Every structure is written in C-alpha cells, then in structure tokens.
Structure 1
Amino acid sequence: MPSIIVLDDLAPEGLALLDAAEGVSYEVRTGLKGDDLKNALNEFDGAICRSGVKLTPDVLEGNTKLRAVVRAGVGTDNIDKPAATRAGIVVMNTPAGNTISTAEHAIALMLAMSRNVPAANQSLVEGRWDRKKFMGAQVAGKTLGIVGLGRIGLAVASRAKALEMDLVGYDPFMSADHAKSLGIELVEKVEDMLPRIDYLTVHTPLTDETRGMINDAALEKIKPGCRLINCARGGIYDEAALVKGLESGKLGGVALDVYPDEPCTDSPLFGMANVVCTPHLGASTEEAQTQVAVEAVELLTAYLKTGAIKCAVNAAALDPKTLASLRGYIDVAHRLGRLSQSLTPSGVGSCRLTYRGTLADGDTKILTAAFAVGLLEQAMGDEVNLINAESLLTERGIQLVTESSAQQGAFRASMTVDVSTGEASHSLTGTLLGADMPRLVAIDGYRLEAFLDGCLIVFTHKDVPGIIGSIGTVLGQNGVNIAQMAVGRNQKGGEAIGVLNVDGEPTDAAIEAIRGIEAISSARVVRLPEAGTVPAWLG
C-alpha cells in the first residue's frame, strides 16, 4: 500500500480526501528538520508540502523510498529540484489552484492604488477627513499592459476587460490570432507597449530575461503617470528605479505583493506616496488554500496508484534504454528549439516536427518535449521542463504537429523543425554526427553543415565575392575570433545563408556593422549551450 507523509499544515479538505482515498495510507508530521526529516522521507512513497519545510540536497541524499513530492502551491523554491531529479523523485506543483486568487489580488491592488484606498483609510484611523486629498482615477477606458499571458495573466485580462479596460499584452509564445480572439492586442516587445499603457501588470517567472524588466531605461519610455502592479516575482521591477520614478513623478503609483528577498519588512518603497504593498498575499485566500490542498492530494494519489504525472516541475527519470538510444538526438532537439526561439523570438503560431530515418521508429515524444523545452526555456526559465513544455505551448494557442517518415534522405536519422509566425517562417534540420556532435544541416532550404553549439552569427546575403572577408574584418576589429564557418546556397550568385561559430560575444555595434555590409540582408546572434554540455534533466 503506497504511503504518504504530509510535511506542512494542509487544509482540512485535503486531509479529508486522504482519509477517503482507498489503498493509500498517510501520516502528518510537521516541523521536521535535518536527520529527522531525512529519515522520515525514507519511510514514505510520497510527500505533500507547502513552503515551510525545506527539502535540501542533504535531506534527499541517499533516498531510496520516496517517489514523488507535491507542493500544495505554485512556488517550489523550497525543494531542490536537481537533487530530487538525481534521486528519481518527481516534483509536482498545483499551478491552477491559486490562479483566480492571484488574479483577483492583482486587480485589487490596481483598484486600491487608483483610488488611494490604503492612505484614505489610514487618514480616517488617525482622525482626519481628507476627502479632497485623495482624488483617484477610474480604470474604465484605460489601457492595461499584461506581460505574461499564461493562466494568471489571462485571468487578469478577463477581469480587466469586465472593468472596460483596453488590453495590450506581451508573451513570446502566444499567437497573435489567439490573443486577438481574447480581446488582447499583442506586441512584439515589452518596450513597444510602454509609451501607450496606463497600467502594467506582470505574470511571468523571474528569469534572466525578466529580471529588472522595468528599470531606468524602461522608465524613460513609459507613459507619464503609468501605474505598476507586481503579484508575480520580486525582482522583475528594479525597486531603485521605481523609487526614482515615483520621486520624479514619472510613475503614478506602484503596487507590490512580492519582493526580491522575502520575508521583506524593510523597503525604500514602504511608506512612499502612491504605493500599496502587501506581504505576498496573492494565494492567501481560503478558497485557494483549499484548492491547492485538494489538487495536491489528487496529483499524488493518482501518481502513486497509476503512475500518471501532471504538473511536474522537474524531469521524470527517463527509461535507461530510451536515454541510451536517443540521448544525442534529445540534445539535437533541445538545441533546435533554442535556435528556433532565437530566429523567431515572438508571435510563434505553429510548429511542425518531422522525424526521418531511424528516428521515425523510436520514441519521438521525448524528442518533441525536448524541442519544446528549448523553445520556451529562455523566456520561462525553470518553470518549463520535459513534462509540461507541450502543454505550455498549447496553453498559448501554439499548434504543435509531429510526423514521421521512414525515408532517410541524406542522413540515417534527422529531424526537421518548421516554425511559423503567420507572417514569417523558418525551417531547420538537425542530425547527429558520431555519438555526441549535433549538427545543423539545413536552414530555410539551404544545405550546409554548422555546429549547433556556443555563440553563432546567422546571416543572409547575396552570393557575391568578399562576404566572408568583410565579416571577418568587422569581427577582427572587434576582437571576435571565428571558430567555424558554414555557408549554404541554392544557386550561384543567388541568395545564400551563413552560420559562423565565434569564440566571443559580438557587441551590438559589431552586429550593426555586419548588417551594414552592402550584400548582407540580415544578421542575428544566437546563443546555444556550449559543446558537450547538456541540460540537467539530460545529464
């Protein structure tokens, strides 16, 4: 009989569901730390936790019993996911449980900030009737910018639409047609919306791409009087920049529920005029806590009874035979996803993956998942993995189609990726040389052989003499060494495409200089994993 340990306080509805679950036993042991926690985890098949317990590498080391951990909530920062993966432990969360509560809190902060509710209440508490002091702003007819159009972002959008707001959104993996059907005008870059919006709310993970999204440079572009809300992750807004924006009057207000370091009781924003702050209350409703508890129990019992995996935030252990036979091509698929994202950074509407030769007879589902991870991970960070990547694409209205052909073509095995935005498309074909050398062998119909690793410069040009020399001169002047070069053309003197592997990161000025060469029509920098490196879930 599978056994479950409950490590943190859980809503009564969750415990009642455990009581009613047939063929499953459970115990509640809260407040465990150190060796007590480590020993307890080795007694049970599954665990449910919230944010209180810390599942660190030392308490997971050597575990041979535990098969799965479910976090009753979204954030899994208290669980060391690489350590869990190494131990073969599936980590799941409950992303849907707090969607409505978090969306409602974002709307509540927006309204409270717009109508000066906290400050007006405080003035009454202190015995003053400052009615004229707290002139507010209505939200109807105003434009709300939403960065991140996943579950919570879309829930905010539907509520803002009911408040008669105009909606502008950014999500690199939502199609324009799907956004339009939801009443959202999609933009290609966050900075495109900044001069137009009256309010901005963010609903993304904290990644290298989103950290400091609103900084001093962004405030120069933002519409005067814009009000900012953050119920997602601390650090997406640069707090020092927010202070400057409020002091200068460029910002009309700031409302925060999250902070770079939590718990947070000291911030320069606390007490400033036109600022509303709450202590990470987005999911703090009775309904949300009940829902995540119930969802956690349902996820864990389903996994322990049937092996069904949903909402995993780490990669489930791969079958050793599958891993051994496809390891190199999993790496190829992941790198093609990264390359597709770099060449088509926004507005992806559909992806078609075609497997040829010996790949057609294998487990292509894992290859498709690896491609989807590569496509999404730059924007979504650790939130995307082999388990959830395809569903995240579908969630954003992106069509993902796969097909297989036993015909080998030029290689024993290869995969082709066709990515379309509706207005433009790219086709990439990759294969594996030897056991561990991923190669790009075709791009947009041009055959070549390029290394799929490190820093690449992908450029299109007229097939005329002197192109490579001109590019080499620019890079040499900027101290960038060319490591490898591949050029493809379909006919002499026609259009051609080139891929350069370079040893160093070219500056923006260097790329602009390359684009300025007369025969060059486009040039883009692509950053792929270094040769020989694989993601943690594959290592």
Structure 2
Amino acid sequence: MSVATEKNPAATNDGTYRVIVLDDLAEEGLAKLDAAPNIQYDIRTKLAGEELRQALSEYDGAVCRSGVKITAESLEGNTQLKAIVRAGVGTDNIDKVAAARLGIVVMNTPAGNTVSTAEHTMALLLGLSRKLAPAHASLKAGAWDRKKFKGSQVFGKTLGVVGLGRIGQEVSARAAAFGMEVVGYDPFLSRERAEELGIRKVDTVDEMLPEIDYLTVHTPLTPETTNLISTEQVARIKKGARLINCARGGIYDEGALEEGLKSGQLGGVALDVYPDEPCTDSPLFAMDNVLCTPHLGASTEEAQIGVAVEAVDLLVNYLVTGEIQSAVNTTLDPNALKTVRPYADVAYRLGILLGQWHGGGLKNCELEFQGEIAEKDTRILVSAFCAGLIRNFTDEANIINAELLCRERGIELSRKESTAYGTFSSQITATVSGDGKTCSASGTVFGKDMPRLIRLGEYRTEAFMDGNLLVFHHQDVPGIIGYVGSVLSEENVNIAQMAVGRQGTEAGGSAIGVLNLDSGASEKALARVTEKDGIESAILLQLPEAGDLPDWLA
C-alpha cells in the first residue's frame, strides 16, 4: 500500500533532489545514486552535534548506517528533510518519534542482510560445537592437543528457534539441512505454515526448553523479549544446552548466562550482540565454552551491497514517486487520514485485543466494515489492525509493513465491506482463527474519538477499549458479579468500568463480563476468579491507555 506523507516530496527549484550519505556506503549503492535521474548527493561522514543538524537541514533525503546518531536535537527545526533510510535493519540510532513529528519518514532495509545473519548464526552454532576458536588459539600458541578440543556434532540434535520471521525461517532451513530437528516459537506463525517449513511449533518458550540442545533467538528487543532467557529459564533448560544470539543484546540475561556456564547447566554461549555496544569488556569473554563476535551478523560484502542498493532504491523511489516501503515510522497525510483516524485506532486496538485473546497460532484474519466506514479507504484500517495484532511480538510493525509481516507468518487476510447500517452508523468486526480456535470482536467510535468494544464473540457488550480489561465467561446467574468484585477488592484492584453481555435475551444462559481495571490483576487473582462455580475462564487483556496512539497514527 502506498501512503503519502504530510511532508510531500518536492524537488528543488531546478527539479533536483539533494541526498546526503552520512556513513560509508557500498560502491554499488553510490553507483545507484550516480545513475538516478534528478538526484544530487554528497558524502559527509562522521557528523555530529550542530554540524549534523545544519547538514540535515540542507537535504531532501539521507542514507545512513549505524555510525551516525540522528537525535531529536539533530532534527530540530528541520523543514527540508523528507526521508531517512537506514542501510540495515536496526534503527536505534535514529529518533523515529522526533522524525515522525516533523513528517520525516524513516525506512530500513529488512531483507538485505537476512541470509548473512542466518549464516552467521549457523557459523556460531558450529564454531561453538566444534570449539574452533580455542583450538585455533592453541595452535597459534604452539600446542597440539586434540583431546582437549573434542566437540559435538549437530546432526540429530534439536534446535529451538524463537522468532520465525525472515531470519528465523532461514536459520531453520539451514539447521534442517544439517539434520537437526527444529522446534519453533512464534505466536503469529500458524501451525500449518510451521509444518510447511518443517518446524514443530510450540505454544511457549518454556515448553521447548527441557528438550532443546541449542537455542537461537531472532526477535527485536521489546519489553516482552527483554531477559527472555534469565535465571529461571536457564534452570529449566536441558543440561548442556548451547545458546546463540545474533538478534539483539538484552534478550538473554548475561548474568544468568555467566552463572549457567559456571554451574555447568549451560554447555556453551555464542553472542554477536550485546546490551551496550561497542562492548569490549564482558565477564563472558574470558570464560570457557564461549564464542563472541563484534556484531558481525550483517558484515558480509554481499549484505552490505544488498542493504546499500536497497536503501538507495527506497529513498529515490520515495523522493520521485512518494511511495513508502519498509517504513518503521510514518506520518500519514492528514487529508487522507482525517475521516478514518478514529476507526484506525479502533482497528489497531481490536488487533491488540484479539492477538492476546486468541493466544497465537493464527491462520486466518477477516475484517468486516459495516456502515459509513465501508465507503472509506479500508486498506488503512486493515493495516492498522495487523499492526495491533503483532504489536506484542515485534517493534517493527506499523501501518505500512504490518500486512507483510503477518503474511510472512502464514496469516491469510481478507476483508468484507457493507454500506448497510447495523446497530451503529459504522462498526468494525474482526475474526481471527487458527489452531482450532476462533475469536471475534467488534468495535465502533462513540463521539468523535472514543473507541468502544460492542461485541465479544456472540456477546453484545459496551466497554472502553483502553487499559486493563478483565474478560470472564460465566453463567448468567446471581452472585457472579459480586464474587468477582469481592476477589478484586481483596486483591486491591479497583474496577473503573463494568459491562456484561448475554448470549441471548433470557437470563440463566451463558454470558461474558468485561471489567476495566485501574491496575493489572495478578495470576493469583485470575485463579481465584475461576474458582467460583459458574465462571468458566478469565483472562487479562492489556490495551493502550485512552488517547495513547502509536507514532504512525499520532
């Protein structure tokens, strides 16, 4: 989908777009700039501070790698710059929120280094297994000690893969070629797609830990993935397992890795990434059975050429045509978004809600737009829903790339539109299914911009779509609501809003309760709720607070 930005590209008076290259770029990328019509570029590396701020104010587009740090101060007062493209995946060196506020699109090149990172993961896995680094160091020191460096073969071993996007899938294919069994976790990869890839899918990371010989992670660093493997997980993992990380520093708790190596619980650790980089001092570097490299996952000639060419193509295409691809932030044209922004927020929140309620393993998603909203550009709403659906597992999703990220995980998307009015002048219904489970929810807008949940499954309701939602299935009989309120009171959890929905119109049947809570409810509280006869299940869903919009929507 192509979406214009608030700051539409416009060439200089002579019809030329000016581009600044802020870091070293492969010659093939520069050749692309040379060949592009109406593009003038300058290479100005190692800029910082006021010099960088002034330089950025003079150009229409910028290409960078990880060397330059483009902060809010770097962009202050900028009215000229329209796009920044990172030749690589990570964009931590760019203040994306500040750029979005100024209408500057930030794009990355997610495909260019996929193979190189996957190959480096396998290189670390094999090097760790065969003790290549210490064996080589021993030879350099003049020793010949074959017994000391007896390794392990990977054939017949089990590899756990957390995150089955592009890189995770490439690693899985290479591991299978070595005769490894691959067990994978990705809440948004369907079981059918996993089977097609030859991966045995599990429902949780903890489920795979006791049976794997190797573990590799390929996810962004988010609150959900920070210290994904810590002391508790190391204690649960199969004794002697080896851990590899070529994704992001901080996914593994390095203190827990150190203790696991000392105790012998872990058989080895291989790292290419660290919580703070550059990293030249870590207790792990001096330990046995550790293999570390200085963030080399994308450091191949082919990868650097690939990301450079892709970055230039993205930038030139945007400046010339206005088309955005691989954006990691975006500000939509206010004129295009004006009539659908409140419903984009509803769609986004429905995605977050159903992603948690279903739990993962999705195969199909269907969105139905009814009433006045069906006459608008519903493609934006589909993308907003997808961004919410996978929000808790990736920090890359936005209204531009979310559909692609869903389809890469084997999720089929469809939409229906009907201009006939239902109960409300406009409403959105989303249905997700997979792994034998189907969940649906409907939402609308009250007033100008207040998202409301109006249906969960077969139950009509009316609930705020923000904050902490406690959803519980129960029999429509006396005493249920009072019991839940008492439990929450004893757990010091305050109820801000309450809604109850019946399956039909008669009392005594099946019903659903939706409570907006001022704070989260603990696992203990949820367990106590379901102890009551007549309450079948309870789940806590966490949505953004009221008015809390993602950068690309705000």
Q: TM-score range by the shorter chain?
A: over 0.9
Aligned runs of 1:315-464 on 2, under 5 Å?
315=330, 317-381=331-395, 383-464=396-477
- Counterpart check, 1:234 vs 2:234: no
- State the partner residue of 1:466: 479
Note the C-alpha offset of 1:398: 0.3
CA–CA distance in structure 2, aligned partners of residues 535 and 32 of structure 1? 30
* Residue 266 of structure 2, aligned match among 251, 264, 271: 251
SS in 1 for 2:309: helix
Contact 2:427 2:442 in 1 (8 A): yes
The one-letter amino acid paired with 1:426 is C
- State the partner residue of 1:46: 61
Note the C-alpha offset of 1:34: 2.2
CA–CA distance in structure 1, aligned partners of residues 41 and 137 of structure 2? 47
The one-letter amino acid paired with 2:376 is G
* Residue 513 of structure 1, aligned match among 521, 525, 528: 528
SS in 1 for 2:294: coil
- State the partner residue of 2:3: none
SS in 2 for 1:51: coil
CA–CA distance in structure 1, aligned partners of residues 549 and 60 of structure 2? 30
Note the C-alpha offset of 1:318: 1.5
Contact 2:239 2:266 in 1 (8 A): yes
CA–CA distance in structure 2, aligned partners of residues 305 and 480 of structure 1? 55
CA–CA distance in structure 1, aligned partners of residues 550 and 197 of structure 2? 35
CA–CA distance in structure 1, aligned partners of residues 223 and 524 of structure 2? 22
The one-letter amino acid paired with 2:480 is I
- State the partner residue of 1:273: 288
Note the C-alpha offset of 1:243: 0.8
Deviation track 1:417-437 (CA, whole Å, cap 9, x = no partner) reads 001114011110001111122
Note the C-alpha offset of 1:53: 1.3
SS in 2 for 1:112: helix
SS in 1 for 2:344: helix
* Residue 111 of structure 2, aligned match among 88, 96, 105: 96
Contact 2:329 2:551 in 1 (8 A): no
- Counterpart check, 1:78 vs 2:114: no
Q: Give the fraction of aligned pairs with identical amino acids, expressed as a percent.
A: 59
CA–CA distance in structure 2, aligned partners of residues 534 and 101 of structure 1? 35
- State the partner residue of 2:4: none
CA–CA distance in structure 2, aligned partners of residues 424 and 406 of structure 1? 29
SS in 2 for 1:194: helix
- State the partner residue of 1:120: 135
- Counterpart check, 1:157 vs 2:157: no
The one-letter amino acid paired with 1:447 is R
Higher relative contact order (CA 8 A, sep 6+): 2
SS in 2 for 1:338: helix
Q: Which runs of 4+ in 1 moved over 4 A?
A: none
The one-letter amino acid paired with 2:267 is G
CA–CA distance in structure 2, aligned partners of residues 308 and 323 of structure 1? 16
* Residue 151 of structure 2, aligned match among 114, 136, 141: 136
The one-letter amino acid paired with 1:368 is V
SS in 2 for 1:379: coil
Note the C-alpha offset of 1:535: 2.2
SS in 1 for 2:285: coil
221-230 or 21-30: bigger deviation: 21-30
Note the C-alpha offset of 1:345: 2.0
Deviation track 1:237-292 (CA, whole Å, cap 9, x = no partner) reads 00111111111111111000000100111111111111101111101111111111
CA–CA distance in structure 1, aligned partners of residues 287 and 311 of structure 2? 39
CA–CA distance in structure 2, aligned partners of residues 503 and 21 of structure 1? 55
Note the C-alpha offset of 1:492: 2.3
CA–CA distance in structure 2, aligned partners of residues 277 and 59 of structure 1? 33
SS in 2 for 1:377: coil
SS in 1 for 2:211: coil
The one-letter amino acid paired with 2:184 is G
303-312 or 528-537: bigger deviation: 528-537
- State the partner residue of 2:12: none
Contact 2:26 2:308 in 1 (8 A): yes
Note the C-alpha offset of 1:536: 2.6
Note the C-alpha offset of 1:127: 1.5
528-537 or 475-484: bigger deviation: 528-537
SS in 2 for 1:77: coil
| Root mean square deviation of aligned Cα | 1.1
Contact 2:371 2:419 in 1 (8 A): yes
The one-letter amino acid paired with 1:369 is S
Deviation track 1:323-374 (CA, whole Å, cap 9, x = no partner) reads 3322221211111111111101210111101000000001212211111111
SS in 2 for 1:270: helix
* Residue 290 of structure 1, aligned match among 305, 308, 321: 305
* Residue 208 of structure 1, aligned match among 223, 227, 252: 223
CA–CA distance in structure 2, aligned partners of residues 179 and 207 of structure 1? 23
Residue 277 to residue 57, structure 1, CA distance change in 2 (3 Å): same
- State the partner residue of 1:8: 23
CA–CA distance in structure 1, aligned partners of residues 542 and 225 of structure 2? 17
The one-letter amino acid paired with 1:145 is G
- State the partner residue of 1:224: 239
Note the C-alpha offset of 1:533: 2.4
CA–CA distance in structure 1, aligned partners of residues 48 and 545 of structure 2? 39
- State the partner residue of 1:483: 496
